[in-house]
Chain A
Amino acid sequence: MIQQKVISKRFGKVDPLSIDSYIKFDGYNALEKALTMHPTQIIDEIEKSKIRGRGGAGFPAHIKARALANAKQPKYIVCNADEGEPGNFKDRIIMENDPFSILEGMVILAYATGAKKGYIYIRGEYQNAIKIMKMTIQNAIDKGYLGENILNKGFDFNLEIRTGAGSYVVGEEFSMIESIEGKPGRSRVKPPYPTDKGIHDKPTLINNVETFANFPHIILMGGDNYAKIGTPSSTGTKLISLSGNVKNKGLYEVPFGTSIRDVIFKLGDGVSYNRSIKMVQLGGASGPIIPEYMLDMAIDFERFENFDSKTGTGAIIVIDERFDIFDILLINMNFFVHQSCGKCAPCREGHTQIVNLLNKIKNHRGTEQDLMSLENLANVIQQTSLCGLGQTSMTSIISSLRYFRDDYFAKVRY
């Protein structure tokens, strides 16, 4: 068994719209337990679990939780369900299959931090998930698991759904805060961090859907037991969005430390027609592109950090031998041309220049000089952009220059 179903254990086994069905399948046991604990004890368990955020950056969850707990009222909790990174669908599948687990995680964190108000920010393309989450919130209120005086313990937590309107950068924390305030989603300069000054300049904690869905399990298992799953630097399980040229595309849950190769071949059943793998992109459009010989790499934050990217979302996109790396890079780069918010120059102007250079090289019109310009420009964008979009968008270019240099030299004119 290479899968280990913790977050996905209820998928397909409960009626996602029925709170009774959720309760029958261990639902809300964790909240009941959490409410017998002191709020700081909950954050201690989260710290012991060593869980890191599942939205991409892998930030330790307890640090943000403790910062919010120490902040003054009013303060907010946000669930990031914007999921705009190409190749990712895990958050949608959690919302559509086990929506109450997300609410339970949010309420536990609200109790631990003292926040009374929260938002779930869902991308506008996810109409089905939006409908489900709205119904879920209503059901939870009706049964006393959300709203005023939760489970008669005298604590309140209210939730609102906010809908995205088609912007990838809004997944970034400060852009999301601007968007929740009803403005264009342009990022802010950090620090101050959101847990100091977020929505309406009030302390705000943002976590990913999958991160919230983990909290109930941490409370039930205890932090120490949770930390036994996975690897020392990356504890727990990871939902993997497997897509591209594999036979069994889909969502799988594996403990951290599982190899990428095992996910592709044991769970995804390999590539159709026994074609060979040309490249694999990890994390999404802002993740690295690696060659076949690197597939034994373990899924682990520490390994992924070598790439300076948001690989941590757990997307694996398999691309077979029929495809040209320049077509793939151009799709990635055109994505960023469209998604740049335009606030800072390296990102606003840089991506267009990158697209020009790639087109030139792809069409055998590029020189060695162009190759150097591409490399330099990619580094400038990565190092000087204001927010995570420009800081990570060059990962596929930089990694392809490292691992697929021959593809470039085959096209460059001397």
Chain B
Amino acid sequence: MKIKEILSKYPKESEYLIEILLEIQSSSKNHYISSEDVEQISKYLDIPESQICSVTSFYTLLSMNPKGRYVIQVCHDVPCFVNDTTSIYEKLVDMLAIEDGETTEDNLFTLEITECLGCCNEAPAMRVNDQVYTSLTPKKVEKIVKDLRGEEK
């Protein structure tokens, strides 16, 4: 039902495909676009499913696989790297016991290494869902993860 509501906000034109996919994904608890979603979009925009999949596979923010409740993306470009983003990543690996691209067993966290978040003035930086965290230290990261775990209880 929810997907129908989202679709109805957009004109039936294929140029809105990416906007639609992004909105559907962000309304999904597990940050992904399901094959049922693709079927519905295909009917609504009257375009083949393969066309939709060529878009979801091209753009890295779009995913056809479910992720954790919180997707943690740690920046790994030069301005963050020289400000010791490696220790941030290692802290997360340590706390979550997962590596780049993996999801915790309780489906709470997914960890990803990502490209520059445009916050290099406050490096190192990471993103949890839509929230950006900057000027990170391992200690700050510890608190952020603990708080997120706490929220779920």
Contacts and interface: CB of A to CB of B under 8 A. Distances in A.
B21 interface: yes
A165 interface: yes
A165 B18 contact: yes
Interface residues of A, number: 52
Interface in B99-134: 115-123, 127, 130, 132
B82 interface: yes
A396 B117 CA distance: 21
A74 interface: no
B61 A165 contact: yes
Contacts of A87: 77-79, 116, 120
Given A84-B115, A180-B15, A249 B22 contact: no
A21 B13 CA distance: 37
Contacts of A124: 22, 61
Contacts of A92: 118-119
A183 B55 contact: yes
A186 B77 CA distance: 23
A320 B127 CA distance: 26
A166 B31 CA distance: 14
A232 interface: no
A240 to B, nearest CB: 11
Interface in A173-199: 179-186
A290 to B, nearest CB: 14
B83 A125 contact: no
B22 A184 contact: no
A283 to B, nearest CB: 12
A162 B15 CA distance: 10
Contact of A332 (B19, B60, B78, B119): B78
B120 A86 contact: yes
Nearest to A85: B116
A122 B144 CA distance: 27
A121 to B, nearest CB: 10
7 contacts: A89-B118, A125-B118, A183-B17, A183-B55, A319-B82, A331-B77, A338-B60
Interface of A: 83-89, 91-92, 123-128, 162-168, 179-186, 241-245, 249-251, 281, 285, 317, 319-320, 323, 327-328, 331-332, 335, 338-339, 341
